[in-house]
Structures are given as C-alpha cells and as structure tokens.
Amino acid sequence: MSDVIRLEYRNVTMRFVEAAGQSLTAVSGVSFAVRDGEVVSLIGPSGCGKSTLLNIGSGLYAPSEGEAFVDGERVEGPNAHVAFMLQKDLLLPWRTVAENVMFGVEIQRIPLPERRKRAQALLENLGLSDFSKHYPHQLSGGMRQRVALARTLAVDPSVLLLDEPFSAVDAQTRMVLQRELAQTLKREGKTALLITHDLLEAVTLSDRVLVMSRRPGRIIDELRIDLPARDNPIARRHHARVNEYVSRLMDRLGIGPTEPAAGAVA
C-alpha cells in the first residue's frame, strides 16, 4: 500500500430539501482519505449518510459544502476513475453474462476485441467462464453478484465504491463472495470504500473501519485492523483478535451488551 491518495473527502456537508421545504442535513463536516490499494469500510446507523458519501464520491451528488477528490481531481460529475457496485446486481436481462460484463467498457468505446478479452479474464478469475453465454435469470443470486463485480472491475477504475454488495445473499454465499472480492481487490491492486452493516464483514475485509454517528453523519472513530491476510477474510474470521475488533465497534455504535434489569438473576 502506497501513500498515494485515491479518494478524499474534505469537510463535506450534504443537505437535502424535503417535500415540506425543510432542510435535512445528511452528513456534516466529513473528512477522510483512502490510499492506493487500501480497503476502508464505513459503518454507522441507518440513515447516517453512508450512501450519500458514496454518491458524492461517484459524482452523482454535488456536496452542499466541501469537496471530494479522486486521483487528486475534484469530483464534479461521474467519471471513469470510479465504479459503483450496489446491493442489487442490476444486470440487464436481455444481455448475456459476457455482454453484461462488457457493458461499461462498451460505453467507454473500448474496441470489441479488448472488451471481450477483459470480460473473459474477469469471468475466469471469478469462476464464471462456463456461464458467459447464460442470461441473468439462469444464474443464482451469488453468481449474479459475481457478474456485477466483474462488470464493475471491467472498466478498470481507480476506486471501487461498494454499497452493501452482498446484503441480498445468504450467509454461506456471502462468505464466498467476500473471499472472492478480497482476492480480486488484492490481485488487481484496487482501492475500495465499502458500506456495510455487518461488523464482522467490515473487520475481515478492511484495512480500516470508519464509524459514523447518527444523522447528521460525522466520522466519530477510526479503527485500524491489524490482522494478517486481508485477501482471506475466512481465515481472518478465525483470528483470535477478531472478536475484540467487533466488540470495540459495537461499543462505539452503542450496541454493546445491555445491563440486566433490576432484580433479574444474572
């Protein structure tokens, strides 16, 4: 991991105007940076502005105050340096797996031979090469998410923005996808900002975890994850210190063990 900053937020505040005309502040005074090759997770209560920050980083939202930068350039709209992966795979049902993976690079007007080469390599790495001619309805939920990941990586972004990409799959599939994501990020040397409500996922996939407050969201803590093998989250699950990290995050979020009620038998 180098000291090159790929993604940076500088004193970002975002306000929305509600239907009644009132102003709602989603995030306030947020500043942090993500270095080249680093994976950082954002955790916090629902509605604290995590997705808002990803939308700002991708150029979909312009902040009310402050600035966001990707590769040192101020974000002023969607750009080719950033790719977004959402909770839903959003695959195009009329396109095959390979055609879905090539969708982004097709928009970038990459020549067809290069598009096919990228798609083939990514599908092989993600164990999907035998399904390149299948359609989305012929795939399981986990396979569809792998296709979505391949499509995200095909555009060769500097930064991946991941908004709870595995929340819609079962626990076993989720662990497999976490491992594939971690190995892919390591192999491709990619930088990622991940939103998750799963504290164990945050710990096992990340170099750092940033904790946000309730709305208006602010960064209230940073936890550096000092565990080996970030590219093997399943192995990390068995590390002796994992529960310590998860407990610290629970405490910071105010969801630690509750005290027994008065008169209760402990």
* pLDDT above 80 (res 226): yes
Reported pTM = 0.88
For the chain, what percent of residues have pLDDT higher than 70?
95
Q: What confidence score (pLDDT) does residue 139 get?
A: 93
Residue 181 inside a domain? The answer is no
CA end-to-end span of the chain: 47
* pLDDT above 50 (res 89): yes
Question: Total domain count for the chain?
Answer: 1
Q: What confidence score (pLDDT) does residue 257 get?
A: 62
* pLDDT above 50 (res 49): yes
Residue 29 inside a domain? The answer is yes
Q: Which residue has the higher pLDDT, 21 or 92?
A: 92
Q: What confidence score (pLDDT) does residue 263 get?
A: 43
On average, the pLDDT of the chain sits at: 90
Q: What is the CATH number of the domain that holds 250?
A: 3.40.50.300
The structure tokens 């970002």 sit at 12
Residue 124 inside a domain? The answer is no
Residue 140 inside a domain? The answer is no
- As a whole number, mean pLDDT of residues 152-175 equals 87
- Provide the residue range defining the domain that includes 222: 1-81+191-256
- As a whole number, mean pLDDT of residues 108-127 equals 88
- Please write down the HEC assignment for all residues of 129-155: HHHCCCCHHHCCHHHHHHHHHHHHHHC
Nearest partner of 188 among 115, 121, 138, 117, judged by Cα: 121
Q: How far from chain centre, in Å, is Cα 251?
A: 23
Residue 263 inside a domain? The answer is no
Residue 163 inside a domain? The answer is no
> Highest mean pLDDT: which of 135-139, 183-187, 228-232, 255-259?
135-139
Residue 175 inside a domain? The answer is no
- As a whole number, mean pLDDT of residues 233-249 equals 93
Residue 137 inside a domain? The answer is no
